[in-house]
Structure 1
Amino acid sequence: MRQKLYWNGTILTMETPSCAQALLEQDGKIVAVGALDEVRQAAGTHFECVDLQGHTLMPSFIDAHSHFMGYAMSLLQVSVEGAHTFSDIQKRIAAFIENRHLPDNQWVIVKGYDHNALDEQTHPTREILDEASSGHPIVLQHRSGHNGVFNTAALNFLGITRSSMAPAGGKIEKDEAGEPTGYMEENAFLSYLKQIPMPQSEEILNALKQAQKRYASYGITTVQDGYLMKEMVGLYQMLCTSHALELDVVAYAGVEDYGTIATQMAKHVDQYSDHLKIGGYKIFLDGSPQSRTAWMRTAYVGQEENFGYPSMMDKDVLNAVRRAMREGRQILAHCNGDAAAQQYLQAVARAMGELDDAPDIRPVMIHAQLVGTDQLPLMRELGVLPSFFIAHVYHWGEVHVQNFGDLRASKISPAQTAMRLGLPFTFHQDAPVIEPDMMETVWCAVNRKTKTGRILGEEERIDTLAALKAITIHGAYQYFEENRKGSLKPGKLADMVILSQNPLDVPAEALKNIEVLETIKEGRTIYQKRAAE
């Protein structure tokens, strides 16, 4: 029997009462929380005393949506984040090829460009990428993950010609002569992205281990793989066989692949085995607001006929939700625009109405970026949980103003309205779109400042405690794990984080400066900040 007693700091329980003097952990679970004398009495004769030295202990953070495998893959890619011109992009790609001595015909995968941040204010073309290298197939991924550009060598490898047609819910851009420019959107881009050869298994496994450390450094102990493809199954099996997962990973498969994946990974379905659980289904209903592909009820500013577009037909969305309901399995839907949100809510309402006793599957609306405040009451009625990508306020708030105007942009991620309605919500970062920095997200929710310092939607600000609940107890609820995680309570897992300061005591502006000092998974330290960090 191993026991640790934490004391001499602030202990935020996310329960009532909200603070405690001490906590006792034994064999990965919380045994006692409360006054120091009471917790000492609950301890055995031999225990390790952990002096918090005035720092704050609280439940570790729960990632409500990201792409764990995609984040790991991104660590093997060249980043052009922060590039301001096409020339900047070309130079970084060329330097990556030269420094790594990449042979001709080896794929170069590039991440992080944002046309909104480029001086050219548009997407590059295949010719632009050809100038970086014509001998390497290159794919340049937009920071949103919903669109990108292939160079000529990549188009040739993938067999994309002037006669290639985009799938429904996607776009292959062509020039005036009918030749592909290299730029693609949504289902077209994503379908060809899947055809790119994977890196070597050893490279990926090392990147997955590195990715875990990165998540842990942000205080996260439960992470999501928001779109598990059948091509990933072998890698996850290798991770589990070698007991390499330290974080709990909850993965969601596409409807079309679920049966195959569930058969191959039967022991992981709806339960953890070696820290991996298959949580249910994932569908994509639209695109990205910053690329003007999110499906909207009103047109984008300056483009009276552009409402974005759907990725799935109504009948297919309904059939996916019906299947989830029939099997009692959770479903997550990527919805950025309010038209996509309406499509999802209508499908959930109809599927529920067809059953005498609909199961509690806690459907999730991923991003819910531009869900209308008029749609939130129906979400509450149906039990659909919004998981807000609220850091958009900072990272793309000014772009939203350009795309939707001041009033509509001020209502992105309407957390305060949801809270007033009693609708629980979670927050996420959609890594690798941005880093899974939970304290930055808390700062965004409380302050709602854009990169220019503009307050975007002051009426949708929430207090710090509500923001912390979104990444702890509500995150646990989203995963049906509220009895195991999300708060510091006897019987729950000792999944905890030690912060440099108490978030409830610092000014709102200082929240993003709070450091994660230590991350603890089931009583074991999996990350500790070094003095030099």
Structure 2
Amino acid sequence: MRSAAAATAGAFVCEAATPGTAQAQQSSFQDLAGRFESRSLPQVTIFRAREIITLDPDKPSATAVAILGDRIVAVGSVAELQAAANGQPYRVDETFADKVIAPGLIAQHDHPLLTGLTMVSEIIAIEDWVLPAGVVPAAKTPEAYRARLAEASAKLRDPAALLVTWGYHPLFHGALTRADLDRISTARPIIVWHRSAHEFIVNGKALDTYGIDAAFVAGLSEAARAQSNLDEGHFWEGGMFGVMPKLLPAIATPDRLRRGLEFVVGYYHANGVTLGCEPGGLFSKQLQDAQNAVLSRPDSPFRFFFIPDGKSIIAAFPDTAISETEKVLGWGEGMTAMVPRAIKLFADGAIYSLAMQLRDPYIDEGHGEWIMQPDVFGRAFRVYWDAGYQIHVHVNGDAGLDMVLDTVETNMRRRPRHDHRTLAIHLAVSRKDQVERMKRLGVIVSANPYYVRALADAYAQKGLGPERADTMVRLGDIERAGVSYSLHSDMPMAPGQPLFLMHCAVNRTTESGRVAAPDQRASRLAALQGITLNAAHSLRMDAEIGSIVPGKLANFSILEENPLTVDAARIKDIAVWGTVHEGRVLPVRRG
């Protein structure tokens, strides 16, 4: 994205003007109109709206916004902007006259490749999935899951065709092993992708077909072998990454990749997304090229950014990690790009796998796992810290967070950095003392509030117990402490719908309809900022996007209602008309 100063030079917002004031805007118009013949000035478009949510504290609401090219040049009322034009050509566009214009919604942490591949697989999950093709109903019991799995196998005409299914969760669906899958079919390969996407369970035919045998597992790293069970066909965390090169070519065929990524484009646009980011996807130039083939098209309704996977880079290139990371910057093209001087590291295991590292023991179910062993994590963190990188860290449990904060504090004491914006991602289980420590250390948060809705009821019974389950994603404490936080879906870990995330954060209603830990609810304003301005802040893009102020990119989400004033229970139901992306008006295609 170009700098605001470069893009607005010659437009009617002077660099010396103070953003957000009608006086500054009028002065800016007049200065330029007096300096140039009006016929030599480009035409400005003034969009009228029922209401504009600017997230600019100096002008929190307005009814008109003027844009030139891909930039916002003025905000106010139509009359103010017409007066400020002072001879410069303009047109008033009434397309959004009865709509609400909000800052462009940001998918701060999502996985387009993973989303595409799971959404075109056989979905048998713990919740309903509302997709453009229809609703895929939940399976919430072992019996329902096994019946659906058998039906999915039976409906494949080719008895040897691969069956890939996503959504399995043992707390809902019971134990599942290689032997169970063999009872469904010994003729076709079956790959069960765990709801967390951090585990595979496969049948014997899949092991044979894709060459996963005792010799192969013996050749994996020690950590990967410890997280593999060949007899049960079960591979989790490091074990999953170990068998990924064997299974991924079958899962990610060119046709499935294309269909899945085209789904991503339509789905995210329909939900008002104007910018997305994936921190730490699979470290593969071939897979990045496959994503670029769809996401980088010039007509894409959003830009998508990628942050490299430091776990893989540090493992492959322990002595040249920074130079190898710099090589990745050329992997994007068109509407995709790699984020410079940013990296993703991993602490503990997935919440959906109950593999978080916890201070206190699990109840009945669960086992703590490390994705990166603490000593390996510490070495990698130091390398990227010393190189001035912003470090995004996947962390789910309170013991995992202790490890991350200890590492940050060690490096702050050793080599202090101002505004490092180290990002704690997911933050399922945390403690209040850790919130204060994050504030002191300058750590910011990217939280997934959907965990409360999907998992609090079940995890209160098994795994975490009532107190830890209900206080998952403690946004109330984080907000009161003044820690900057954003919201993400980690799609497919939650639906990639920013307004639904806001709804989950504000309401904290569980699957049963109760409110979990009411004091941990987010305020509406902060939750909206979490999918706009604070999401941009977490990506170090807040000078360019996230609010509607002069000089920023003209990225808007066009809504039917105001999420700050609509009934809180209806935030998730707000209809999205479409978006404006860098000045392009893009209605959602219906049907």
TM-score of the alignment, normalized to the shorter chain, above 0.5: yes
CA deviations on 1:372-391 (whole Å, 9 max, x unpaired) are: 11111221122211111111
Unpaired runs of 5+ in structure 1? Answer: none
SS, match of residue 277 in structure 2: strand
Counterparts of 1:267 and 1:56, CA distance in 2: 38
| Structure 1 residues 380 and 138, CA gap change in structure 2 (3 angstroms) | same
Counterparts of 1:274 and 1:52, CA distance in 2: 26
| Structure 1 residues 336 and 78, CA gap change in structure 2 (3 angstroms) | same
Of the three residues 52, 69, 87, the one matched with 1:27 is 69
Q: Is 2:329 aligned against 1:288?
A: no
Counterparts of 2:392 and 2:280, CA distance in 1: 10
CA deviations on 1:83-139 (whole Å, 9 max, x unpaired) are: 2455644554555566564572x5432111222233xxx231122222333222221
The answer to whether the 8 Å contact 1:243/1:274 transfers is yes
Counterparts of 1:506 and 1:76, CA distance in 2: 34
Tell me the residue number matched to 1:6: 47
Equivalent residue runs for 1:343-358 within 5 Å: 343-355=403-415, 357-358=416-417
Tell me the residue number matched to 1:75: 119
| Structure 1 residues 93 and 524, CA gap change in structure 2 (3 angstroms) | farther
Tell me the residue number matched to 1:115: 170
Counterparts of 1:458 and 1:212, CA distance in 2: 35
Counterparts of 2:228 and 2:243, CA distance in 1: 14
SS, match of residue 312 in structure 1: coil
CA shift, 1:511, in A, is 1.3
Among all aligned residue pairs of Structure 1 and Structure 2, give the percentage whose two residues are the same amino acid.
24
| Structure 1 residues 263 and 358, CA gap change in structure 2 (3 angstroms) | closer
Matched residue type, 2:120? L
Counterparts of 1:289 and 1:262, CA distance in 2: 28
Q: Is 2:111 aligned against 1:56?
A: no
SS, match of residue 70 in structure 1: helix
| Structure 1 residues 87 and 3, CA gap change in structure 2 (3 angstroms) | farther
Of the three residues 467, 473, 481, the one matched with 2:541 is 481
Q: Is 2:565 aligned against 1:513?
A: no
Q: Is 2:220 aligned against 1:160?
A: no
Tell me the residue number matched to 1:390: 449
| Structure 1 residues 163 and 502, CA gap change in structure 2 (3 angstroms) | closer
| Structure 1 residues 135 and 41, CA gap change in structure 2 (3 angstroms) | farther
Counterparts of 2:322 and 2:258, CA distance in 1: 25
Equivalent residue runs for 1:98-177 within 5 Å: 101-102=157-158, 104=160, 106-118=161-173, 122-156=174-208, 157-161=210-214, 164=217, 167-168=222-223, 172=227
Matched residue type, 2:500? E
CA deviations on 1:259-294 (whole Å, 9 max, x unpaired) are: 68746544468xx85432235222221113343211
Q: Which has the higher helix share?
A: 2
Counterparts of 2:292 and 2:513, CA distance in 1: 46
CA deviations on 1:329-383 (whole Å, 9 max, x unpaired) are: 222111100111111111111122222x525431111101112111112211222
Tell me the residue number matched to 2:439: 380
CA deviations on 1:57-86 (whole Å, 9 max, x unpaired) are: 110111221112211222331111222455
Equivalent residue runs for 1:40-439 within 5 Å: 40-43=82-85, 44-81=88-125, 82-86=138-142, 88-89=144-145, 92-93=148-149, 96=152, 101-102=157-158, 104=160, 106-118=161-173, 122-156=174-208, 157-161=210-214, 164=217, 167-168=222-223, 172=227, 180-198=231-249, 199-201=252-254, 203-228=256-281, 229-230=283-284, 231-239=286-294, 243=298, 245-255=300-310, 256-257=312-313, 262=325, 265-267=328-330, 274-279=335-340, 280-302=342-364, 308-355=368-415, 357-358=416-417, 360-402=419-461, 403-439=463-499
Counterparts of 1:460 and 1:10, CA distance in 2: 29
| Structure 1 residues 398 and 462, CA gap change in structure 2 (3 angstroms) | same
Higher mean C-alpha deviation, range 288-297 or range 363-372: 288-297
Q: Is 2:513 aligned against 1:453?
A: yes
Tell me the residue number matched to 2:131: none
CA deviations on 1:198-255 (whole Å, 9 max, x unpaired) are: 3333542343233122111111111122323214233245457754644222212222
Matched residue type, 2:272? G
Counterparts of 2:350 and 2:468, CA distance in 1: 16
CA shift, 1:309, in A, is 2.7
The answer to whether the 8 Å contact 1:86/1:124 transfers is no
Counterparts of 2:583 and 2:355, CA distance in 1: 44
| Structure 1 residues 45 and 103, CA gap change in structure 2 (3 angstroms) | farther
Tell me the residue number matched to 1:36: 78
The structure number with the bigger radius of gyration is: 2
CA shift, 1:169, in A, is 6.8
CA deviations on 1:405-431 (whole Å, 9 max, x unpaired) are: 222223211111111111000111110
CA shift, 1:527, in A, is 4.2
Of the three residues 5, 18, 23, the one matched with 2:60 is 18
| Structure 1 residues 377 and 191, CA gap change in structure 2 (3 angstroms) | same
Name the TM-score, length of structure 2 as normaliser: 0.81
Counterparts of 1:102 and 1:79, CA distance in 2: 19
The answer to whether the 8 Å contact 1:380/1:422 transfers is yes
Matched residue type, 1:394? R
Counterparts of 2:586 and 2:383, CA distance in 1: 38
Counterparts of 1:103 and 1:2, CA distance in 2: 63
Counterparts of 2:216 and 2:102, CA distance in 1: 57
Counterparts of 1:246 and 1:273, CA distance in 2: 12
CA deviations on 1:16-53 (whole Å, 9 max, x unpaired) are: 22110211122111111012211223454342513424
CA shift, 1:529, in A, is 5.4
Name the TM-score, length of structure 1 as normaliser: 0.89
Counterparts of 1:263 and 1:491, CA distance in 2: 29
Matched residue type, 1:518? G
SS, match of residue 246 in structure 2: coil
| Structure 1 residues 260 and 390, CA gap change in structure 2 (3 angstroms) | same
The two structures, once aligned, show a CA RMSD in angstroms of 2.7
Higher mean C-alpha deviation, range 8-17 or range 282-291: 282-291
Count of aligned pairs: 518
